[in-house]
């Protein structure tokens, strides 16, 4: 594969083993100021990642774990929060100036097309879903961490590889709503991890199911104590149509409240199967199932990874990304993770204010 010309951005690349504190890692990579929202193993065993770097939407492909093979930087401020790719091209999605951003690239980092879509409400993050019909579905909304007033909503855009749009549907709400993440099943049904907030009340977390025409089938509110806030983040639907969702809820402490990550499972009809509370001073952010069916949950603070039995939510252990990290006071924040072809765990986020990627051996606990 030909390499893109080396840009001045590579000068920002910092690579350090830091063995004295990061013995659990195979490698780690830190770029300039920013945040990595996405990471995955690429078709040729490289790594693709996307996010925001120096306030610009950024996508990079890395070879042999550390060498930058290709990169793309948007002209305007923004971020990429989700990526879809095949052997021929890459599509990245996110936001720019409050609008949905969709961009197609080739594997040399050349832009084939790019477009922004104005929903009439603010878009912070976008999730891409493969609907197995030759099209891709983008779901965009405000971030669950935002506190916008006025009209909010969710934007559903179905488009093909050439950028042709066959569906552009906005779902607006009178109060705040965020679909921070989305998933799709084999029938094209779309599942959303939602955060809702009305004036004068704590935020609430729910899960919604929409059909392929983006008509809501059901919405289930998870247990929400009126005295404590909760919000949704990651969502996963397995081959048996079991739904897994994660996020954060508040718990009481002596001087107020404390965030706590949770994990819940629902049936395809919206019935809650189980719910577990996990890490104090944390937020569940992303979910994966490996090839053996084990369920992994990435917590935001310190990149803590919980191993959970998908049948009943029972604890099966925890993986630490760093051997010294305090979730109550940290500059290490995970956003997304995946596994590579060898079963190692790829993690993406920010560390020390910088765009950060790492590869972890799950046997190093």
172-217 tens-digit pLDDT = 988 899 998 999 998 999 999 999 988 778 889 999 999 999 999 9
Q: Dihedrals φ, ψ of 9, to 5°? A: -65, -30
Domain ranges of the chain: 1-115+331-365, 119-327
Integer-rounded Cα Rg, in Å, for the chain is 19
Question: Distance of CA 113 to CAs 77, 216, 303, Å?
Answer: 17, 31, 34
**Buried (b) or exposed (e) across 337-360, using 16+ Cβ within 10 A?**
bbbbeeebbbbbbbbeebbbbbbb
Q: What is the pTM of this model?
A: 0.90
Q: What gap in Å lies between CA 108 and CA 1, rounded to an integer?
A: 8
Q: What gap in Å lies between CA 65 and CA 68, rounded to an integer?
A: 9
- Residue 6: predicted pLDDT: 31
Q: Which of 136, 184, 190, 123 is nearest to 162 (CA)?
A: 136
Question: Distance of CA 293 to CAs 111, 121, 142, 284, 298, Å?
Answer: 37, 38, 32, 19, 16
Q: What gap in Å lies between CA 80 and CA 53, rounded to an integer?
A: 10
Q: Which CATH architecture has domain 119-327?
A: 6 Propeller (2.120)
37-46 tens-digit pLDDT = 999 998 787 8
Average pLDDT, the chain: 88
In this prediction, residue 258 has a pLDDT band, given cuts at 50, 70 and 90, of confident
Q: What gap in Å lies between CA 304 and CA 365, rounded to an integer?
A: 11
């Amino acid at each position: 594969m030909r390499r893109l010309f080396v840009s001045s951005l590579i000068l920002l690349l910092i690579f350090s083993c830091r063995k004295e504190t990061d013995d659990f890692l195979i490698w780690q990579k830190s770029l300039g100021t920013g945040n990595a929202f996405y990471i995955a193993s690429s078709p040729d065993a490289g790594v693709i990642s996307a996010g925001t770097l120096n306030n610009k939407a950024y996508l990079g492909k890395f070879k042999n774990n550390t060498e930058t093979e290709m990169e793309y930087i948007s002209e305007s401020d923004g971020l990429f929060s989700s990526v879809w790719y095949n052997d021929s091209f890459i599509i990245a999605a996110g936001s720019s100036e409050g609008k949905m951003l969709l961009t197609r690239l080739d594997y040399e980092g050349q832009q084939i097309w790019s477009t922004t879509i104005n929903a009439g409400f603010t878009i912070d993050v976008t999730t891409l879903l493969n609907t197995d019909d030759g099209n891709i579905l983008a779901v965009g909304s405000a971030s669950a961490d935002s506190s916008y007033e006025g009209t909010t909503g969710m934007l559903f855009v179905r488009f093909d590889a050439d950028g042709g749009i066959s569906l552009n549907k906005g779902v607006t709400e009178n109060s705040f709503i965020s679909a921070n993440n989305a998933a799709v099943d084999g029938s094209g049904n779309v599942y959303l991890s939602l955060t809702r907030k009305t004036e004068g009340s704590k935020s609430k977390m729910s899960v919604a199911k929409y059909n392929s025409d983006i008509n809501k089938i059901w919405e289930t509110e998870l247990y929400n104590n009126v005295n404590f806030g909760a919000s949704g983040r990651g969502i996963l639907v397995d081959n048996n149509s079991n739904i897994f969702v994660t996020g954060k809820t508040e718990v009481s402490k002596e001087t107020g409240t404390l965030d706590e990550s949770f994990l819940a499972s629902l049936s395809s009809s919206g019935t809650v199967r189980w719910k577990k509370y996990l890490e104090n001073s944390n937020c569940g952010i992303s979910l994966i199932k490996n090839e053996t069916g084990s369920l992994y949950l990435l917590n935001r603070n310190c990149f803590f990874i919980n191993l959970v039995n998908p049948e009943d939510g029972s604890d099966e252990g925890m993986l630490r990304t760093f051997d010294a990290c305090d979730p109550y006071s940290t500059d290490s924040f995970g956003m997304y993770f995946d596994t590579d072809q060898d079963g190692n765990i790829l993690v993406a986020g920010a560390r020390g204010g910088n765009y950060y990627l790492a590869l972890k051996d799950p046997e190093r606990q």
